[in-house]
Chain A
Amino acid sequence: MSSHREKAKEFLKDEKFSSWQDSALWFVREKRDSATKEVKEWEELRKRASNIKAHTLSRLDFYLEEFEKNALKNGFEVHWAKDALEHNRIVYNILKKEGAKKVVKSKSMLTEECHLNPFLEHKGIEVVDTDLGERIIQLRGEKPSHIVLPAIHLKKEQVAETFEKFLDTKKGKSDPTYLTKEARKHLREKFLNADAALSGVNFAISQNGSFVVCTNEGNADMGTSLAPVHIASMGIEKIIPKMEDLGVFIRMLARSATGQPITTYTSHYFKKPKDKKVHIIIVDNGRSKMLKERDFIGSLKCIRCGACLNTCPIYRRSGGHSYPYIIPGPIGSLLGSNRDLQHNGDTAFASTLCGSCVNVCPVKIDITHQLLAYRKDYVDSGYLSKSKSYTLKLFAFVFSSKFLTEVSFNAAKIVLPFLPKRLKLWGNGRELPKLAKKSFSQIYKELENE
């Protein structure tokens, strides 16, 4: 399997597109900035959001049981799944019992994590992703490259080609409005004929057993209001204690994600309607294990806004598909490393540790500290390539001695400018700055002697 570095190199070959993506994502980051500046209590909100999540995680068993008790009172059916396979089986068994053959699904990173679609398709069930971006990549057989903007890796011409093939749109017509209208028509038919609707959960409220789903397109609402069966999948970390806590999170989610003041639809499922069946599946799949890892517990606060992706200089310049885990970018590097250090751990190095992600995170996750901790684990577990590992050992040896450090710095000053470009660390696409004639410690000594 090729590393993040190699895949990023591949992505950067198309210079025009990679710089378009870089600036498109930066534009979303700027929209986020101006949206947050409208709210003068923004930093207070971040602190509160982080505190509510930390509090909830510290009493998660209590809040989950409360949630279940209240959800049952509301007429919802509640299921618990230890892992992805159990989750998928529960979904399938509900569908089988209801005789459902066609299902529509709105965006849910959890179902991606569980690989639900291939599981259901293998059993002969038609699963249609209804978020426009997700539908596009589903038709193309790709995985999302961003958690909020799943098709950000595609040009409109590529979307036009895909729609021409599957939706019979006019050849060569790549106007986004035209393509969106055609997708609307195509998906209307799917909504009207669906036997069941699947959705994720943005927030589950322990106090009254209700849950919230946010979308801009209205696809979750179309699905769940038309189909007789609704199955909502949630990770155990989606719980918040009270309705009033939503005031904090709803104000932050869309502003952080896209710079909108709120998503177009913020839907609250309070009770089961008479003519419908509503199932909630509470999924662990490795999350409770993270509670035991004090260094990494903070990732469970994530509300999946994607702000850390948009701001990350590495993500913006390497594209979502260079990351091996289903969630890319800084938060994906943490969650992926936690799930499978050997295969995903190299993404802990896909960061300059500049901390921009930490500054934009609405729940104040200590992303850079965690990345550093995963790097240590990765190296300690012996997963680092031999050449890198030897280089690092050499560095450690040199820098642990004052004498060797000084010698090597002086040598570097002479040698570095003459090194061939490909040998220079981070040399691709960069020029070395001019080296100072005197080192800091030399100047310091001279000043001291004056």
Chain B
Amino acid sequence: MSSKSEILKSIKNASLEEVRRDDESFTLTTYEDKLKAFKESIKGVAGKFIECDESEIPFKIEEIFGKDKKIASNIKECSAKNVELESIKSPKELKDIDIAIVKGEFGVSENGAIYINDKNLKDRALLFITKTLVILLDKDALVNNMQEAYKKIPNDANFGVFISGPSKTADIEQSLVIGAHGAVELFVLLY
């Protein structure tokens, strides 16, 4: 007998009575001002945010990061980028990227997380290997909580991730250190 059938048989042998699923809905946390709550959450997870008009985005990026950085982006109109993602053959070539600029699908007010998928991303490694991650997010694309968030995720990407702030660890004596393996800095450009 295969291990699969042995395991399934062993589970069936427990002959458990089915526990009914409780699908009754209950009231979830919502916010009068989703944007305000989102911004507070971003601060709480050590992220930074900047508000600007959509047309100002390229100037903002130049203003913050200067010109002598290696900048990659999957956004066609992004004039700040100077690394061509399409010519990259292996994700390892992304190792010296200073700044990655990507678009977020939507943000979650309760925890400052932003959902990003790999649909328009040549390589998802970009999100994690870059020193600084800049996420462009439409101010109107906010949900209150994770229950609402999971209703918005279509099943059409290979990979999707909620990112909430820069990477962090407290593994040495519980001291919080920002920048463990992923991005050392996270900016959200709210337009």
Contacts and interface: CB of A to CB of B under 8 A. Distances in A.
Interface of A: 24, 27-28, 38-41, 44, 47-48, 51-52, 54-55, 57-61, 64-65, 68, 80-82, 86, 130-133, 136, 149-152, 154-156, 159, 176-177, 179-181, 183-184, 187-188, 191-192, 208, 210, 216-219, 221-222, 225-226, 236, 241, 243-244, 246-248, 250-251, 258, 260-273, 282, 284, 288-289, 291-292, 297
A226 B183 contact: no
A154 B161 CA distance: 32
13 contacts: A41-B26, A51-B21, A58-B19, A80-B3, A81-B3, A180-B179, A216-B167, A217-B180, A218-B180, A218-B182, A226-B91, A265-B167, A270-B155
B85 interface: no
- By Cβ-Cβ distance, the 7 closest A-B pairs, closest first, are A218-B182, A261-B111, A133-B171, A217-B180, A247-B147, A291-B14, A225-B125
B125 to A, nearest CB: 4
B162 A132 contact: no
B26 A44 contact: yes
* Most-contacted residue by chain A among B41, B92, B159 (CB, 10 A): B159
Contacts, number: 242
Interface residues of B, number: 74
B44 A261 contact: yes
Interface stretch (B5-13, B62-70, B76-84): B5-13
B25 to A, nearest CB: 10
Nearest to A131: B171
Given A54-B19, A243-B150, 12 more contacts: A38-B110, A136-B172, A217-B168, A221-B181, A243-B153, A250-B146, A262-B112, A266-B161, A288-B7, A292-B13, A292-B14, A297-B16
Contact of A64 (B8, B17, B150, B170): B8
Given A27-B174, A61-B11, A133-B171, A264 B155 contact: no
Contact of A264 (B4, B6, B45, B160): B45
B98 interface: no
B171 A149 contact: yes
B135 to A, nearest CB: 13
A132 B180 contact: yes
A177 B183 CA distance: 15
Contacts of B163: 264-265
Given A54-B19, A82-B7, A265-B162, A216 B179 contact: no
Contact of A216 (B14, B18, B180): B180
